[in-house]
């Protein structure tokens, strides 16, 4: 064990005193924060139309009962009447297409009379309103949505028999429950991906790189037990990966409100939940580091190690998708015997505030068993001349 500690200290010194290495560890978190914040800003501003824009809308046969509903509305609209001829209609559509105007609305002739005479019970074709818009234009899409909403509201007032949830205050979910739903949907997938990428950045290169550079031979001729070499390396890599993953996690926490456009609070979770999340993170990082170390030991070069890690990455991402429904974690404890999937489900369980100790213990137990088994295999790999020296 003394040798494992000596190797652990050396590995940590390499990662944490080399400025270039340190930047590599912290940079993903910074990039995530900046990139996700910018992306959130971009998406929010890109999808919401400007209220300062003067919207140009061409109309044909627009009844005064309807046109009056747009006066003093959310958007400033300049309406221009177009004759009900084929040429004029085609010209108006062309203007929407070339983005000269934002919308063209065509009402049937005598629209209101037809509406008054229309009997739903008798069936037949209802009076038509055709709205032409350009989905590639943010302004055109926005005014199309708005115009449609005003028309729907008007239609409701014509034949209103009853209202459902008129006004607000009907959603009885607490703010914390709403935050939990958003976080349950997003965090497990993103967290598992960050944990894996943090481990991949550090572990894939580790042993394969030493084989490539010839430094592993120097270590293997010392009396240090192969088990101690494996243990020292895996713990050092896990701690380093944990540091990198934590930086990414903090970056994500800092940018999640911008990214989702919602007001999500991390304060809804107590200390116990955070400790449980941390425990799952540690056991998952240990598992990923172990698996990637085995791949790295098997590979002849760092490049080959990264290539061999791709199928594992696919499995991790696939496991992460299982949390996307946002409905929380699976209640079937047998499923927690499946590695990677169990970590994702545990995260889902913890983020959805439906913590289950059994799930946590099974997940940590399985991960720990796999890590111990992996250490045994890694020890054998260090002793195999075919794996260590066959280039």
Residues contributing to the site for another protein (CB under 8 A)? 3, 6-7, 10, 13-14, 18, 213-215, 217-225, 385-386, 388-390
* Helix (H) / strand (E) containing 316: helix 310-321
CB-nearer residue toward another protein: 123 or 223: 223
Sign of CA dihedral 239, 241, 243, 249: negative
Q: Cβ of residue 220: shortest distance to another protein, in angstroms? A: 6
Q: Cβ of residue 223: shortest distance to another protein, in angstroms? A: 4
Report the 10 Å Cβ neighbour count for 85: 10
CB-nearer residue toward another protein: 99 or 213: 213
Q: Cβ of residue 138: shortest distance to another protein, in angstroms? A: 51
Q: Cβ of residue 52: shortest distance to another protein, in angstroms? A: 57
Exposure string for 198-232, b = 16+ CB within 10 A, e = fewer: bbbbbbbbbbbbbbbeeebeebbeeebebbbbbbb
CB-nearer residue toward another protein: 44 or 215: 215
Q: Cβ of residue 214: shortest distance to another protein, in angstroms? A: 4
CA angle 17, 21, 23 (to 5 degrees): 100
Decide: 195 and 288 in contact? Cβ < 8 Å: yes
CB-nearer residue toward another protein: 6 or 356: 6
List CB contacts of 187: < 8 A, sequence separation 6 or more. 347, 351
CB-nearer residue toward another protein: 224 or 313: 224
Rg (CA), the chain: 31
CB-nearer residue toward another protein: 157 or 390: 390
CA separation, residue 295 to residues 189, 299, 304, 311, 312 (Å): 23, 6, 9, 11, 10
- Tokens 């919602």 sit on residue: 262
- Tokens 């088994």 sit on residue: 373
Q: Cβ of residue 365: shortest distance to another protein, in angstroms? A: 32
DSSP per residue, 108-160? PTTHHHHHHH--GGG-SPPP-EEEE--TTSHHHHHHHHHHHHHHHHHHHHHT-
d(CA 385, CA 380): 10
CB-nearer residue toward another protein: 18 or 76: 18
Q: Cβ of residue 301: shortest distance to another protein, in angstroms? A: 13
Decide: 286 and 238 in contact? Cβ < 8 Å: yes
Q: Cβ of residue 6: shortest distance to another protein, in angstroms? A: 5
d(CA 104, CA 93): 7
Q: Cβ of residue 383: shortest distance to another protein, in angstroms? A: 9
CB-nearer residue toward another protein: 250 or 308: 308
CB-nearer residue toward another protein: 161 or 391: 391
Q: Cβ of residue 390: shortest distance to another protein, in angstroms? A: 7
From its phi and psi, is residue 82 left (phi > 0), alpha (psi between -120 and 50) or beta?
beta
* DSSP-assigned beta bridge partners for residue 55: 77
CB-nearer residue toward another protein: 115 or 220: 220
Strand 54-60 vs strand 76-81: parallel, antiparallel, or unpaired?
parallel
């Amino acid at each position: 064990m003394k040798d494992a500690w000596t190797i652990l200290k050396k590995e940590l010194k390499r990662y944490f005193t080399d400025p270039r290495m340190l930047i590599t560890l912290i940079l993903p978190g910074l990039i995530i924060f900046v990139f996700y914040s910018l992306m959130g800003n971009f998406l929010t501003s890109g999808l919401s139309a400007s209220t300062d824009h003067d919207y140009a809308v061409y109309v044909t046969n627009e009844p005064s009962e309807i046109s009056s509903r747009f006066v003093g509305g959310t958007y400033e609209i300049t309406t221009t009447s177009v004759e009900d001829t084929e040429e004029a209609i085609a010209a108006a559509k062309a203007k929407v297409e070339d983005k000269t105007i934002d919308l063209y609305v065509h009402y049937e002739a005598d629209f209101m009379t037809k509406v008054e005479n229309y009997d739903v019970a008798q069936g037949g074709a209802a009076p038509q309103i055709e709205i032409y818009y350009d989905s590639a234009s943010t302004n055109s899409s926005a005014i199309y949505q708005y115009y449609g909403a005003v028309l729907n509201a008007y239609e409701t007032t014509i034949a209103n028999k009853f209202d459902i949830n008129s006004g607000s205050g009907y959603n009885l979910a607490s703010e914390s429950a709403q935050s939990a739903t958003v976080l349950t949907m997003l965090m497990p997938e993103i967290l598992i991906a960050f944990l894996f990428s943090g481990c991949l950045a550090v572990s894939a290169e580790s042993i394969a790189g030493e084989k490539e550079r010839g430094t592993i031979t120097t270590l293997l001729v010392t009396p240090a037990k192969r088990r101690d070499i494996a243990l020292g390396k895996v713990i050092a890599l896990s701690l380093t990966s944990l540091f990198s993953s934590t930086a990414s996690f903090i970056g994500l926490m800092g940018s999640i409100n911008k990214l989702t456009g919602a007001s999500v609070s991390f304060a809804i979770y107590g200390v116990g939940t955070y400790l449980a999340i941390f425990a799952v993170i540690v056991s998952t990082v240990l598992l990923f580091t172990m698996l990637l170390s085995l791949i790295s030991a098997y590979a002849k070069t760092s490049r080959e190690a990264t290539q061999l890690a791709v199928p594992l990455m696919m499995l991790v991402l696939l496991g992460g998708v299982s949390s996307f429904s946002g409905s929380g974690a699976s209640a079937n404890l047998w499923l927690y015997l499946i590695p990677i999937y169990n970590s994702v489900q545990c995260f889902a369980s913890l983020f959805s505030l439906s913590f289950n100790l059994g799930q946590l213990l099974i997940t940590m137990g399985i991960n720990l068993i796999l890590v111990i088994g992996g250490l045994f295999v890694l020890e054998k790999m260090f002793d195999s001349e075919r794996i260590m020296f066959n280039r």
